[in-house]
Chain A
Amino acid sequence: MTPKDSKAALTGYRVIELASERCALAGKLLADMGAEVIVVEPPGGCETRAWEPFADDVPGLENSLHWWHYNTSKKSVMVDIETEVGAQQFRSLLATADVVIEAEPLGRLDALGLDWNQLREDESQLIWTSISHHGRDGADPPATDLTLLAEGGPVWSCGYDDQQLPPVRGGGNQAFHTACHYAVPAILVALMWRETSSRGQLIDVSMLGAANATTEFATLWWLNAEQEVQRQTGRHAHVRPTEWTQIRCADGRWFNTGMPPRNKREFAALRTWIEELGLVEECSSYEILKLGDQYERIGVFELDADPLAGEVFQAGRDVIEFLAQRLPAYELFLGLQERGMACGIVYSPDEMIEDPHFVERGFPVDVFYEDRNSTYTHPGAPYRFQRTPWMATRAPHLGEHQVLIEDVSE
């Protein structure tokens, strides 16, 4: 199929990915948009196939949910690149590729004669993507998602008001994700350039750099003012303590209150809601909330200049706390948002995927596993392309596409 007839954005591009936890997301992002991504696994399969959790809790090469998630829409071949035949097969595969993605230990491919430096002349159109600890010319210390986020900055900002509690690594292996989130745009830029120049190139991605470039105000306060942010529970780390934004609702669920009400429209909306709920008598901040009608907007200037503004502002926060004590989180979320106030319910990932809004948008997608004769729900498209939609098929079995390997033994 030529790109012209295609319903996928990346049709016609072949990507070779050397199976690794570190670069699996980069391959998935390209595969789900139509690139032919061939993941090259070692004998016995990628190590992530052995990782929990397993489907139905039954360990097995084809059962790892980690594998299922990160390898949708890909093809699998098994090649032992440590052998001469395997190396030759790998080279033949590369000769057909547009993009390579690898996150091998530094020096491994070079020792096998399979690194960019050795292949670049033959494959001048090839786009070679290396994801490493802090660049191809750096060292390669033993590292995991946890250690990368610790030394890369994110961990410093995440945790609790109580500074005796350890800082927290955000969940979900985001260090590897973030490196892939830089790798993919870089690959796309290289493909754009290749369309006109017919030349490939080397892309060198630093995982440590990617974490460092993804810490928002911790970095910005230091770069501009040499001030250090401090961790706070459920909200931005800051150079000065700020007010809570996370609160527990009547059903025990946590809730993010977002920006507090700041203008007369928002104060009025809150007041009317209290009236509709018949809670005027119980709500001690109701009367002062009425004074919110006087304020177009309460900002830093008004809070400084006008003591009453401070009281009204505080009443807005008090009323949200009052409502949280009486309403389940979902009702508070809908009620405030429908009245124009930004806020969010704290869902677990599996609750988010069942929320009616995301269901109506088609975010959860069914992926068919013919070998199990079952359909399972996966998280769907991160973006909705109108003409070239994101699509996912199940992750490949080990060596399922071995036919793609040229027989080089003869």
Chain B
Amino acid sequence: MTVPVEETIEPQGLNGIRICDFTGQLAGAGATKILAAFGAEVIRVEDPTNKGKWDILRGIPPWVADARGLEAGGAFNNHNAGKLGITLNLRDDRAKELLRELVSISDAVTENFAAGVMDRLGFGYDELREIREDIVYVSNNGFGSTGPYSSFKSWGPIAQAVSGLTFTSGLPEQPPAGWGYSFMDHTGAYYMATAVLMALLHRRRTGEGQWVDLACIEAAGTLHGTATLDATVNGRAMRRSGMPNSNRSQSPRMAPHGIWATQGENQWIAIAVRDDSDWRLFAEVVNEPWSQEHRWQFAVDRLSAEDELEQLVAAWAAPQDRHALAQRLIDAGVPAAPVLRPGERIDSDERTSDLWITVDHSEVGPSRVEGLPVRLSETNWSLSRGAACLGEHNSYVFGQLLGLDEQEINELAEEGVI
């Protein structure tokens, strides 16, 4: 029997940690991917009766290369790289018993179902604790497990809308631009990984397990602290004229600070003049009569005529090449960057080329996924396996870990238990 534990030369920080994982989509699966990358054995549990389609990313585009179908979803493959996959039909008592056995040899249980689902399955925190007293249980949903909205549903864009992240991203006189992707699914996953690790660390030091109730919208609600305090301390609400304008900088105040069109279609440059010293450097690069005017030399004056200044910058930037211009500004010491398109940053930016790795998916073959933007000198992360196919590791988990023989496993499969 193949042992699906990844062969790594270096030790990994979470070797020996086992996660019984019910997560899906990005908000949950993104968390346990981080744990898997650091060496935890993450065993993802899926429902065989609907072929794991509770995770809506299973079997939807973008497809991995020419493959199609339930095992070929590129997002699913990305978010579940490095994990094992098993199936359990928890409507069946035999499956529940297997899950109890799995929980008893796991360090943490993770899920991002709607609130109450685990209770209805008979695996709420109280039941989990009866199986293993020191279990770490982390639940992650939009509104959390208590409170008047605990039954409300959420996904990334809703978490962003309710938390304030959508409102604060946009230009004046326009609707909210919001985030053009599920920023809070990524970030909810970061908070979930953090929660699991903090709880595991506490357990390693004290022997004590616990439940962490993560509400993605509350995590999001911490990400605009300065603006929130401006309201709670100074009574200055964010909903006011000219606000928000998130291409400008409020804290600290900077001007000019924004994104301007450059030569070519849909080509943009971001420029941030942090202070008066940056302004002097910027004015030299611009080298036009207006940039030499004394009226712009102090931040207070640049801020009070920000609209006018931005128009001057716009006219100056418009005919220029965004890459060359950004480089001139950086060389002069002024923060600037072209707005990179996906292909440019993924295929041509050597500074981040380590991030894009190829994993091997047992059905669809090699595929590219995101790694982690960190390096640890002694226990680095590693991912080599793509997302598990439905039930791919049933024989390892039910056989090797839980002690069933091949015949028993086959019978359970035939009877739809696994």
- Are B181 and A216 in contact, CB atoms less than 8 angstroms apart? yes
Cβ of B177 within 8 Å of any chain A Cβ, yes or no, is yes
Q: Contacts A156-B342, A344-B161 known; A168 to B149 CB distance under 8 Å?
A: no
1/0 per position for B280-320, CB-CB distance to A under 8 A? 00000000000000000000000000000000000000000
1/0 per position for A137-156, CB-CB distance to B under 8 A? 01101111111111111111
Task: Name the A residues within 8 Å of B252 (CB-CB).
Answer: 48, 50-52, 66
Interface hits, B176-223 → A, CB 8 Å: 176-183, 185-187, 190-191, 193-195, 197-202, 204-206, 208, 210-215, 217-219, 221-223
Q: Contacts A171-B169, A246-B176, A344-B161 known; A163 to B266 CB distance under 8 Å?
A: yes
Cβ of A368 within 8 Å of any chain B Cβ, yes or no, is no
Q: Contacts A165-B171, A188-B197 known; A135 to B157 CB distance under 8 Å?
A: no
Q: Contacts A223-B368, A350-B228, A383-B219 known; A142 to B334 CB distance under 8 Å?
A: yes
- Are B379 and A185 in contact, CB atoms less than 8 angstroms apart? no
Stretch among A79-87, A277-285, A318-326, A351-359 lining the B interface: A351-359
Question: Could you tell me the distance between the alpha carbons of A353 and B221 in the complex, rounded to whole angstroms?
Answer: 7
Stretch among B58-66, B94-102, B400-408 lining the A interface: B58-66
Task: Name the A residues within 8 Å of B378 (CB-CB).
Answer: 190, 193, 197, 199, 201
Considering residues B187, B238, B339, which has the most beta carbons from chain A within 10 angstroms of its beta carbon?
Answer: B339
Considering residues A184, A192, A217, A376, which has the most beta carbons from chain B within 10 angstroms of its beta carbon?
Answer: A192
Question: Could you tell me the distance between the alpha carbons of A153 and B341 in the complex, rounded to whole angstroms?
Answer: 7
Q: Contacts A150-B340, A182-B374, A348-B238 known; A383 to B205 CB distance under 8 Å?
A: no
Question: Could you tell me the distance between the alpha carbons of A52 and B17 in the complex, rounded to whole angstroms?
Answer: 45
Cβ of B70 within 8 Å of any chain A Cβ, yes or no, is no
1/0 per position for A209-220, CB-CB distance to B under 8 A? 110111111111
Task: Name the B residues within 8 Å of A149 (CB-CB).
Answer: 270
Task: Name the B residues within 8 Å of A245 (CB-CB).
Answer: 157
Of B167, B174, B338, B373, which one neighbours A349 at CB under 8 angstroms?
B167
Of B34, B186, B225, B247, which one neighbours A216 at CB under 8 angstroms?
B186
Task: Name the A residues within 8 Å of B217 (CB-CB).
Answer: 352, 358
- Are A381 and B330 in contact, CB atoms less than 8 angstroms apart? no
Closest residue of chain A to B152 (Cβ to Cβ) is A337
- Are A168 and B195 in contact, CB atoms less than 8 angstroms apart? no
- Are A142 and B333 in contact, CB atoms less than 8 angstroms apart? yes
Nearest-Cβ distance from residue B151 to partner chain A, whole angstroms: 8
Interface residue range, chain B: 35 or more
Q: How many cross-chain pairs have Cβ atoms below 8 Å apart between A and B?
A: 525
Cβ of B105 within 8 Å of any chain A Cβ, yes or no, is no
Interface residue range, chain A: 35 or more
Question: Could you tell me the distance between the alpha carbons of A396 and B373 in the complex, rounded to whole angstroms?
Answer: 31
Question: Could you tell me the distance between the alpha carbons of A189 and B271 in the complex, rounded to whole angstroms?
Answer: 36
Question: Could you tell me the distance between the alpha carbons of A33 and B205 in the complex, rounded to whole angstroms?
Answer: 15
- Are A56 and B234 in contact, CB atoms less than 8 angstroms apart? yes
Stretch among A106-114, A229-237, A286-294, A305-313 lining the B interface: A229-237
Closest residue of chain A to B114 (Cβ to Cβ) is A342
Question: Could you tell me the distance between the alpha carbons of A258 and B159 in the complex, rounded to whole angstroms?
Answer: 10
Q: Contacts A4-B206, A190-B13 known; A217 to B75 CB distance under 8 Å?
A: yes
Cβ of A101 within 8 Å of any chain B Cβ, yes or no, is no
Nearest-Cβ distance from residue B168 to partner chain A, whole angstroms: 3
- Are B147 and A361 in contact, CB atoms less than 8 angstroms apart? yes
Q: Contacts A158-B179, A171-B165, A256-B158 known; A151 to B345 CB distance under 8 Å?
A: yes
Known: A142-B336, A204-B374, A352-B217. 20 other contacts (CB 8 A): A9-B198, A29-B194, A52-B253, A65-B251, A68-B229, A150-B339, A188-B197, A215-B342, A216-B75, A337-B151, A337-B152, A345-B162, A349-B228, A350-B232, A356-B148, A358-B217, A360-B148, A378-B228, A383-B195, A384-B212
Task: Sample 23 A-B pairs with CB under 8 A, ordered by A number.
Answer: A33-B198, A50-B252, A134-B352, A144-B257, A147-B336, A151-B339, A155-B339, A199-B378, A201-B376, A203-B375, A204-B377, A209-B352, A209-B374, A210-B373, A214-B186, A222-B342, A233-B177, A235-B157, A235-B178, A344-B161, A346-B162, A350-B230, A386-B210
Q: List the 4 shortest-distance A-B pairs measured between CB atoms, nearest first.
A: A209-B373, A349-B164, A69-B225, A171-B168
